[in-house]
Structure 1
Amino acid sequence: MGNPYDPYGQQQPGYGQQQPGYGQQQPGYGQQQPGYGQQPGYGQQQPGYGQQQPGYGQQQPGYGQQQPGYGQQPGYPQQAEVHHHHYGTSHGSLAEWGSRVGAYLIDALVIGVPTGVLYVIGAICVGAGAPDPYTGDGGSGALAGLGVIFFLLAAALGLAAGLWLIHQEGTTGQTIGKRQMGIKLIGEHSGQPIGFGSAFVRKLAHFLDSFACYIGYFWPLFDDKKQTFADKVMNTLVVRV
């Protein structure tokens, strides 16, 4: 039996039997302290890093999935093709002044040629039936009457043809001339044909374009929306199709 006072006969606690934390590694060293060997969020990655934080790996609302009002702005058409289509509208590019003039001339021929023919025939008949202005001899009341009939036919045909063209313009947006020139009359806000009634009123409103040397008919050359005065009154546009 060793000397109870002998420190080497009976090893001091912590030397023969290694002190806790050395032979048996101290808690947190041999078995790594929580947060070092397996740090919360490192060995097992922190929430938001290994599993990316909400809004980064899964993009934040409004970035990966664009915020309402940015990618598709509310209340703003996707996207007006038309600017000020030139005045960009979503309804198509605006018709050039030359195309509108060409359409007008074609429509004038559609009405003017047949009515003109009837008018000329009427004038010939009236002239042939009239008595000699110097002697008072000759003349034929029948021919003169026939001439008047041709005049009336010319007027009726011109009126009917004019109303028919207005009907076509109001219901389809195109007269014969506009169809040939590839243009169309539409409402500025609706983008649709304006109907017979509005087309008729627009035709009457062209008297505004006749003031001051017909400046209203030339106004589309300078206007952003390429409108005549009648177009502005009726809120109409002429676009290409």
Structure 2
Amino acid sequence: MSFGDPNPNPNNPYGQQPNQPPQEQPGYGYPQQPQQGQPGYGYPQQPGQPQGQPGYGYPQQAPGTLQANNGYINVPVLGTVQVASMGRRLGARCIDAAVIGVLYGILSAIGVASAMGIAKSVDDCGSSLDPGYQSCVNEASGSIIATMLGMVAIFGLITLLYEWLMISLLGSTLGKMALGVKVVKENTGLNPGLGAGFIRWIIPIVGVFLCYIGALLVYLSPFFDNSGKLQGWHDRAAGTLVIKK
């Protein structure tokens, strides 16, 4: 044995104090400490959970859970998002109404010009004493009525395609895009799709036939939602949620 030798026992092959586990190796009664960013033995890591996140001992909020009624909600794929305020949604609705109003105005001008052109053609029918005068007038009148009905059909088609297709496929109309509002499926976080988009569109349209009172109630129905999600009746029926992008 030489001086300064920390191993007084020459038969100890590890060159360490007796009853001391080898360095860099966990011994009996000496559990190894988990490395930083790794879950410990008491908190096994969840499948697919990123490293450094708490394990089963720290449950996360389920999708669709409103956080402390503060306007934020957990949505699949998107994570934590903010529910769009009613002021922002109303502003988007006003922009959409202006866009559709401009289209209606253009089409109405075209329709009126066509009807006036048809009305002037009555002068070509000749005198009221002519045998074919009445049939000529009836034909012109029928053309004017057909033109007006055609314009109404086009108006309805524009409203359908604008609101239904844009919400279904993009999640936003032009007004919603301008104010950062988007409609998503609550259970997936994706765009509503054609089915849910149609349900969401048709419910207010049905209310229009009740002297517009039904449609107004549908658009105001988010104020009656006590869940904090500001879901209108049309959103609940379609399973959609209006969020801020």
Q: Any idea what the Cα deviations from partners look like across 1:84-115, whole Å, max 9, x if unmatched?
A: 48241233211111121122222222223222
TM-aligned CA deviation for residue 191 of structure 1: 0.7
Task: Please say if residues 122 and 149 of structure 1, whose CA atoms lie closer than 8 Å, have aligned partners that are also in contact.
Answer: no
Deviations 1:2-55 (A, max 9, x none): xxxxxxxxxxxxxxxxxxxxxxxxxxxxxx9x9xxx9xxx93244499955566
Alignment partners' CA distance in 1, 2:55 and 2:98: 48
Match of 2:241 among 234, 237, 240: 237
Question: Does the CA-based 8 Å contact 1:188-1:235 persist in structure 2?
Answer: yes
**Alignment of 1:155 onto 2:152:** yes
Is 1:220 equivalent to 2:231 in the alignment? no
Instruction: Give the counterpart of 2:86 among 69, 91, 97.
Output: 97
Report the CA distance between 1:174 and its aligned residue: 1.3
Matched, 1:44 2:46: no
User: Contact 2:64–2:187 at 8 Å: present in 1 too?
Assistant: no
Kept after mapping to 1: 8 A contact 2:62/2:74: no
In structure 2, the gaps of 5 or more residues are: 1-7, 47-52, 121-127, 129-135
1:1-241 equivalence runs, <5 A: 43-47=17-21, 53=28, 56-59=31-34, 63=40, 66-68=43-45, 71-73=54-56, 83-84=66-67, 86-90=71-75, 91=78, 92-119=81-108, 122=111, 125=115, 141=137, 147-165=144-162, 166-206=164-204, 207=206, 214-221=216-223, 223=225, 224-241=228-245
Task: Tell me: CA distance 1:89–1:196, structure 2 relative to 1, closer, same or farther (3 Å).
Answer: same
So what's the TM-score if we normalise by structure 1?
A: 0.60
Which protein is richer in helix relative to its size? 2
Unmatched 5+ residue regions in structure 1?
1-31, 131-136
Larger Rg, first or second structure (1 or 2): 1
Closer/same/farther in 2, CA of residues 53 and 215 from structure 1, 3 Å limit? farther
User: Identity percentage over the alignment?
Assistant: 25
CA contact (8 A) 1:202 1:234 kept: yes
Flag the structure with more relative contact order, 1 or 2, with Cα contacts below 8 A and sequence separation at least 6.
2
Helix, strand or coil for the counterpart of 1:174?
coil
Per-residue deviation, residues 104-131 of structure 1 (Å, max 9, x unmatched): 22222222322244446656857x959x
Structure 1 residue 148, shift from structure 2 partner: 3.4
Deviations along 1:127-172, whole A, 9 cap, x unmatched? x959xxxxxx9xx958866653552343132122122221121011
State the distance in 2 between where 1:83 and 1:233 align: 19
Query: Distance in 2 between the 1:167 and 1:74 partners?
Result: 45
Q: Secondary structure at the match of 2:195?
A: helix
For 1:172 and 1:192, locate their aligned partners in 2 and report how far apart those are by CA, in whole Å: 10
- Higher mean C-alpha deviation, range 82-91 or range 56-65: 56-65
Amino acid at match of 1:182: G
